[in-house]
Amino acid sequence: MTPTDDLGPQPGQLRLLHVEDNQLDAELVVQALRKGGFSISAVVVQEEAEFERELRLQRPDVVIADYNLPQWKGMEALEVLRREGLDIPLILVSGALGDITAVDCIKQGATDYVLKDNLARLPEAVRRALQEKRVLRLRRQAEEDLARKAEELARSNADLEQFAYVASHDLQEPLRMVAAYTQLLAERYRGRLDENADKFIGYASEGALRMQSLIQDLLAFSRVGRNGSGRVDCNAVMEEVLVSLGSAIQESGAVITHASLPEVWANRTQMAQVLQNLIGNAIKFRGKEPPVISVQAEKTGQHWLFSVSDNGIGIAPEYAENIFVVFQRLHARTEYPGNGIGLAICKKIIERNGGKIWVEAQAGHGSGHGSVFKFTMPCDPAEKELCGDQNNKDIKSLQELRT
**CB closer to ligand ADP, 340 vs 378:** 340
Residue list 71-110, contact with ligand ADP (CB under 6 A): none
- Say if residue 373 is exposed, middle or buried (CB neighbours under 10 Å; 0-12, 13-18, 19+): buried
Residue list 3-42, contact with ligand ADP (CB under 6 A): none
**What is the closest distance, in whole angstroms, from the C-beta atom of residue 345 to ligand ADP in the complex?**
8
**What is the closest distance, in whole angstroms, from the C-beta atom of residue 291 to ligand ADP in the complex?**
9
**CB closer to ligand ADP, 44 vs 308:** 308
**CB closer to ligand ADP, 75 vs 357:** 357
Contact between 281 and ligand ADP per CB under 6 A: yes
Distance between CA atoms of 352 and 375, rounded to whole angstroms? 12
**What is the closest distance, in whole angstroms, from the C-beta atom of residue 307 to ligand ADP in the complex?**
12
Contact between 218 and ligand ADP per CB under 6 A: no
Residue 271 burial (CB count, 10 A): 26
Assign residue 191 a region (left: φ > 0; alpha: ψ between -120 and 50; beta: otherwise). Answer: left
Residue 262 burial (CB count, 10 A): 18
Provide the mask over 289-318, with x wherever binding to ligand ADP is found by CB under 6 A and - wherever it is not: ---------------------x-xxxx---
- What does the chain come to in residues? 403
Distance between CA atoms of 91 and 125, rounded to whole angstroms? 8
Residue list 334-393, contact with ligand ADP (CB under 6 A): 338-344, 371
**What is the closest distance, in whole angstroms, from the C-beta atom of residue 293 to ligand ADP in the complex?**
9
**CB closer to ligand ADP, 185 vs 282:** 282
**What is the closest distance, in whole angstroms, from the C-beta atom of residue 363 to ligand ADP in the complex?**
15
Evaluate whether 168 touches 215 at the Cβ level (below 8 Å). yes
Contact between 122 and ligand ADP per CB under 6 A: no
Q: State the Cα torsion 399-400-401-403 to the nearest 10°.
A: 90
**What is the closest distance, in whole angstroms, from the C-beta atom of residue 324 to ligand ADP in the complex?**
7
Distance between CA atoms of 281 and 284, rounded to whole angstroms? 5
**What is the closest distance, in whole angstroms, from the C-beta atom of residue 250 to ligand ADP in the complex?**
19
CA atoms within 13 A on the CB side of 227: 13
**CB closer to ligand ADP, 297 vs 341:** 341
Query: Where along the sequence are the contacts to ligand ADP (CB under 6 A)?
Result: 277, 281-282, 285, 310, 312-315, 323, 329-331, 338-344, 371
